[in-house]
Chain A
Amino acid sequence: MATAFLEADDYDEAVEACHRNGWTDGLPVIPPTRAKLDRFLEAVGLPGDHEVAYYALRNRPLTAGKLALNAIMAGCLPEYFPVVLALAEAIMDPGVQVHTANASTGSLSLGFIVNGPIREQLKMNCHGNVLGPGNRANSSIGRALRLIQVNVMGSVPGAGGEWEHGRDVLDRACLGNPLRYSSFHIVENEEVYPQLTPFHVTQGFAAEDSVATAFAMGAHLMLTNHFEKTPDEWLNSVAHYLVGAGRLYEGGFGILLMAPEAAKMFVKQGWTKADISRELYRRTQRTIAWVKREGWKIGGRFERGGAVLPGDEDKLVSCAGSPEELHIVICGGPAGNFTAYVQHYGANFQMASRNIRPLAGGVDRGAVDLNAVRAAIEPLRAQLRVDGYDIVLDRGEAGRLGFALSAGAQACAECLVPAAIMELHVREALAGLPQWRGAKVELDYPVQS
């Protein structure tokens, strides 16, 4: 059992004590108390001294108790802790190369993807501003990872040389990275286009599994694709961006974050994620001879440019090691054709996925149950289908539900009621769900195919 490290007279003093001891990321934290620790450990059904992994390079165990104390400080709720725990397991997979993220001058950040039912249970945001601030689970889970790096793994940051708070400065980042405040957090929208297989399912997990996937990264590219009206134009544009970034490799992963607006374009024409990956991979392929002539370099192997050698005309590089390593993840707001691309830090860096364990002890703090909403609108769907239309739940969070209407090829154009009337129908369908009474109902209206 952990013993008290220090006592503070009141809450404010407790927060200041956390700052003084160097436990924070520079922002205030929640004081790590025994009562909170007990609730976090209850949520995963583990004792505090349970060793989740061992960081051999720095001779530090990652115990459930120390991980929980940092999740507490980051602002997590107990029910978030299974995700933090799964991510702690994933970052210790050798392929992730967490020591580089912990120590390198290269200023890497950790990133992660969350898939499966846990997203709804924790009210995680996979919609607008998914990568940004605003959602407690997204932000605090990512921040927990960072505080774990600092306090459990020993990556105390500094500008090179200071020994702050009496602790060694082992994070040697040259410039640092703003992503490090709450890690690069991605939550996939698996519902908006079910035709597009969720990321974790493409990796061999069951759709009903909750899965956390971790990786190390430098920065991401933000691309705009508003002028691209077809999959062909879109792929052409993205391929140009990626080749122009000048980072073509023979191996390694890439993660393409596709907004629903772009996904809609592909789905309407019957594309799968594998189709998109395959085509984008093909369009970013260049020969090593081309790379040299254009003055690019490949990883750290070549000086820029250089003489074209025998075989260089035949050997190909691309934005990822293979189409299978170029992952498409759907997320973001309903409007805006923006795309983000995350590339590995080096061709030998890998992603690692771990199952998120179910909450132990029946912890239930009012998680959003969208399945009840789906069931409630089934009769309305049946009515709409008669006239060639459909309605699906697209997004849901506390106090807000979004629905997408679509029109089939045989849809009767005059049969669709105006949005205001449709909203009344939706509210009527939800009348039996008191938790959604008064919720804002948004309708994406309608899509002719």
Chain B
Amino acid sequence: MPIELLNPVQEPVAEVHPIAPRLSTLNGKVLGLWTNNKLNSVRLMEMIAADLARDYDFTVRTGYYYASELMPPEKWGDVDQCDAVILANGDCGACSSSGIANAIELEKRGIPSFLICTPPFVDAVTSMAKLGGMSDVKWAVVEHPIGSVMEAELASRALDAARQFRECLLAAAADAPRELALAGGK
């Protein structure tokens, strides 16, 4: 007699959301640099901001977000004052997956957001973007790792991240090809 099996897997139930409008320039804008206290995250942000400052005249706000959980909406501080936000680091399992989920939360608030992650976690970030209902959200991929490298290696990652930020968040077209964002991925 056949045995009927029930499915023990819970599929995700996310609604689909569009990404926030892209910016055409950083000039005159407020750039948010939100770190999760992972090693090197603050220094990485400083380097990214310094590189972007060569081309744009913008102001910076900084903040903190949870490294392994969704940030409660009321705990983002003055993130709504920002025109775009960069999130870092995303070079570990929990911080990459929760990082992109937090980026999606900011996108839903209308703020274009950009997680800095590393190649081992691109597939997890891709999955999380899909099950978060926002497959089009953008992220940067820089060489792994971020947290345990010296200043010079960190600087090269920052330059790479800043380049991808220009391409993905400042492109006039919101539909910048995904291949661009995954340049450093597998």
Residues of chain A at the chain B interface (Cβ within 8 Å): 2-11, 13-14, 17-18, 21, 23, 31-34, 37, 56-63, 66, 69-70, 73, 94, 97, 99-100, 102-106, 147, 151-154, 160-161, 163, 167-173, 300
A14 to B3, CA, bound (A): 7
Min CB distance B19 to A, Å, is: 17
Chain B contacts of A8 at CB under 8 A? Answer: 2-3, 5
User: Are A152 and B8 in touch, CB under 8 angstroms?
Assistant: yes
Chain A contacts of B164 at CB under 8 A? Answer: none
Residues of chain B at the chain A interface (Cβ within 8 Å): 2-14, 39, 68-70, 92-94, 96-98, 101, 120-121, 123-124, 127-128, 131-133, 186
A-B pairs with beta carbons under 8 Å apart, 20 shown: A4-B4, A21-B9, A31-B3, A34-B4, A57-B98, A59-B133, A66-B10, A97-B68, A99-B68, A100-B68, A103-B98, A103-B124, A104-B94, A154-B10, A163-B123, A170-B97, A171-B93, A172-B92, A173-B93, A300-B39
If A103-B124, A105-B93 touch, whether A33 touches B68 (CB-CB below 8 Å) is: no
Chain A contacts of B13 at CB under 8 A? Answer: 59-61
Name the CB-closest residue of A to B37.
A300
User: Are B97 and A57 in touch, CB under 8 angstroms?
Assistant: yes
Which of B6, B69, B123 touches A32 (beta carbons < 8 Å)?
Answer: B6
Beyond A33-B3, A105-B92, 5 additional pairs, beta carbon < 8 A:
A3-B6, A11-B3, A105-B94, A154-B10, A170-B127
A173 to B92, CA, bound (A): 9
User: Are A31 and B124 in touch, CB under 8 angstroms?
Assistant: no
- Among all A-B residue pairs, the 4 with the closest Cβ atoms: A172-B93, A5-B7, A168-B127, A69-B8
Chain B contacts of A10 at CB under 8 A? Answer: 3
Name the CB-closest residue of B to A102.
B94
If A99-B98, A103-B124, A172-B121 touch, whether A2 touches B7 (CB-CB below 8 Å) is: yes
A31 to B93, CA, bound (A): 31
If A57-B69, A103-B94, A105-B92 touch, whether A32 touches B5 (CB-CB below 8 Å) is: yes
